[in-house]
Amino acid sequence: MKFSLNAGLTAIAALAACLSASTLRAQDWPTFGHDPQRSGWAFEESTLTPENVSRLELKWKAQAKNEPRSLTALTAPVVASGVVTAQGVKTLVYVAGSSDHLFAYDANDGSLVWTVNFDSRVVPKNEGMWLCPNNLNATPVIDRRSNTIYAIAVDGKLYGLDLGTGSIKFGPAQFVPGFSKDWSLNLVDGVIYTATSQGCGGAESGIYAMNVDDPERPAVRDLFVSHRGGGIWGRGGPVIGKNGRAYASTGDGDYVPSKGAFSNTVIAASLSDLKIVDYYTPTNWYEVSRYDLDMGSASPVWFSYENYNLLVSAGKEAALYLMDADELGNRDHQTPFQTLHLANDDKAFQGQGVWGGMSTWRDLEANTWVFVPISGPVSKDAPSFPQTNGAVPHGCIMAFRVKLDPSSKQPVLEPAWTSGDLNLPEPVAIANGVVFALSTGENPMQTEQSGVIVNNTHLRLLTDAERGLNTKNAVLYALDARTGKTLYDSGSSISGWTHFSGLAVAGGRIYAVDHDSRLYCFGLKKSE
C-alpha cells in the first residue's frame, strides 16, 4: 500500500490539544446517513436554514484520480472536523474510490490532502459488471475515539487509517470475501458492521461484524440470511438501533425461517453475538419474491417516538411498513403497526419503488418526521397528501409525520407532503428544517427483452455501457422540511449523473459525488 503526505505534524498536535472535543466533532458527518440509526439528520448543523439556503452555490469541485467501474465511482462522502494534518488543523472530506482508493480533501477549498492506494494482491474469478463490479463499494466510517477512518478494500480486507495522514493504524485484516459487494460500514462500541449482497465473490448474503478495539485479535462474526439470494443491499448496510439490535431488510431468495433463510424480510439481530432475535415478513412474501420486488433495495431507519422504538422499512414494491423495533411484526411476525402502498402500481423491478433508504427528523416543536425517496409515479392507492408540489412522473420525496392513533394509541404515519419531480431521488439529509435531496439523473433500466428468464419472461441484462446511456446530470435540491417547497436547486452545477450514492451535510456545507469521480461542495454565498 502507498500513501502520499507532506511531513511535519509536531507543532500542530499542540494546537489540536487545545481544541475541545465538542469543537472537534460538532461539524462531522462520520458515516452513511450521519449516525448508526441512518437517520440522515445533521442535528449539529446550525448554519443552513430555510431562510438562507436560496443563497447556496457551488463552492468547489474536485476531480479524483479514480477509474469508475461499472455504475460505481466514488462512495458517499463522510466528514471529520478538527483533523490534525501537515498543513494545519482542518475539516476533511473523505470518499473511497471504486478502483481501490481512499481520498481526503480539504473542506475549505477541495485540495487533496492525502490519498491511499490499497495494495490488493488477488485476482477476481469473473469479469466485473454492474451486478458484481469487483470494486470498492462500501462507504467508509469514521471513529473519532481513535481518529481513524475504516474502509474495506476490494480484496475484502479492513483498513483503519489515520484521519490526518492516511497511515495505517489497523489491519489490514480479512473481513469479508474478496470482491464481495459490501455496503456502508457502521460502527458501534468498537465493532465495525457491513452487509453483502448478490453473492459477489462467492460471499454469503448477510451481516458481517469485526471487533476493532483489539488490533492484534480482530474477532469476526457473521450472520448469513439465505444460502440462495436474500441479499442486504440497502445503501446504509446494517442499521444499529439504540436498543442494542442490528436491523436489515433482505432481498429475493429462499424463505425458510426454521433453516435460517430469511429472504424479503426485515430482520433484527443481537449485537453481542449477531443472532436473529426477531423478524417481520409481509403476508404477500411470495408475490414480492415472484415479481423481484426486493425489500432489500432500501435500508430501514430506526428512531424513537413517545415510549416506542420504531423502525420504518420499504423496498421496490413501495409498501411502507411502520414497525415496533422491539417486536417486529408482533407475535406472528407479520403484523406491523401500519402498511401504506406508495408507488409502483406496475410491479416493476427496475426504476420504481423505494431505493436507498428512509430518513427521519425531529423539529423544534418535537414533531417526528419520516422522509421516503420514491422512484416512479405515485400509486393510485397512495394516501392523500395535504400538500403536493406538482406532478411527479419520475419520482419524489414523500414526507410523513408520526402520530398516535386516537383509538389504538399506537404510532402511525400521517401523510404531510410530496416534493416536486425528482429524476430518481437518493436518501435525503436533513438540517435545521431543510431537506436536502439529490436527483441522480441515472438510467435505472437493467434489462431488455430476450435472454435470461426472470418471472417467466425472457430478459437480457444490459451492459455497463448501455446503462450509462440516457442519463441526465444530477441536481441538488433544498426543500422546506414542513412543506416540501423547493428553496434551491443546483441546476447544471453537477456535471454528471450518480448511482447508489448519498449526501453529507456538515459545517454549513453539502457534499455530493458523480459517476465521473468528481466530489462537489455547496455552501452559502458570502453576504454582501
Residue 23, helix vs strand vs coil: helix
Give the C-alpha separation, 317 to 286, whole Å: 12
Distance of CA 526 to the CA centre of its chain: 31
In the predicted model, what is the mean pLDDT of residues 21-33? Answer: 74
- Per-residue pLDDT band for 455 (boundaries 50, 70, 90) equals low
| Secondary structure element (H or E) that encloses residue 423, with its range | none
pLDDT at 112: 98
Q: Residues 6 or more apart from 280 whose CB is under 8 A from it? A: 265, 266, 313, 321, 323, 328, 329, 333, 334, 336
Per the model's pLDDT, the better-predicted residue between 203 and 457 turns out to be 203
What's the maximum distance between 2 C-alpha atoms anywhere in the chain? 68
Separation between Cα atoms, residue 304 and residue 241, nearest integer Å: 9
How far apart (Å, rounded) are the C-alpha atoms in residues 428 and 373? 7
Residue range(s) defining the domain that contains residue 190: 2-524
Look up cell 415496533; give the residue: 324
Regarding predicted confidence, which is higher, 198 or 427? 427
Q: What span, in angstroms and rounded, lies between the C-alpha atoms of 85 and 204? A: 39
**DSSP string for residues in 46-76:** -S--TTTGGGEEEEEEEE-S---BTTB-BPP
Model pLDDT, residue 275? 95
Q: How confident is the model at residue 447 (pLDDT cuts 50, 70, 90)?
A: confident
Q: How far apart are CA 135 and CA 182, in angstroms?
A: 9
Q: Is the pTM of this model over 0.85?
A: yes
| Per-residue model confidence as pLDDT tens digits over 294-320 | 999 999 999 999 999 999 999 999 999
Question: How far apart are the C-alpha atoms of 234 and 250, rounded to whole Å?
Answer: 8
Considering only 83-97, 215-229, 234-248, 454-468, which range has the smallest mean pLDDT? Answer: 454-468
What are the C-alpha distances in Å from 258 to residues 96, 205, 251, 255?
39, 17, 18, 9
Beta-strand relationship, 276-280 and 298-299: unpaired
What is the total residue count of the chain? Answer: 528
The answer to whether the beta carbons of residues 424 and 441 sit under 8 Å apart is yes
Residue 461 has pLDDT above 90, yes or no: no
Say yes or no to pLDDT of 260 above 50.
yes
What is the end-to-end Cα distance of the chain in Å, rounded? 47
**pLDDT tens-digit profile of 478-487?**
999 999 999 9
Instruction: List, in sequence order, every residue forming a beta bridge with 437; answer none if it has no partner.
Output: 477
Cis peptide before 133 (omega within 30 of 0): no
Q: How confident is the model at residue 14 (pLDDT cuts 50, 70, 90)?
A: very low
Overall number of domains in the chain: 1
Q: What is the pLDDT averaged over residues 267-283?
A: 95
More confident residue, 130 or 269: 269
Instruction: Please give the helix or strand (H or E) that residue 245 lies within, else none.
Output: strand 245-249
**What is the reported pLDDT for 518?**
98
Q: How far is CA 44 from the centre of its chain?
A: 19
Q: CA-CA distance, 412 to 477, in Å (whole number)?
A: 28
Give strand pairing partners of 397: 373
Whether residue 378 is predicted with pLDDT greater than 80 in this model: the reply is yes
Residue 22, pLDDT > 90, answer: no
CATH number of the domain that residue 73 is part of? 2.140.10.10
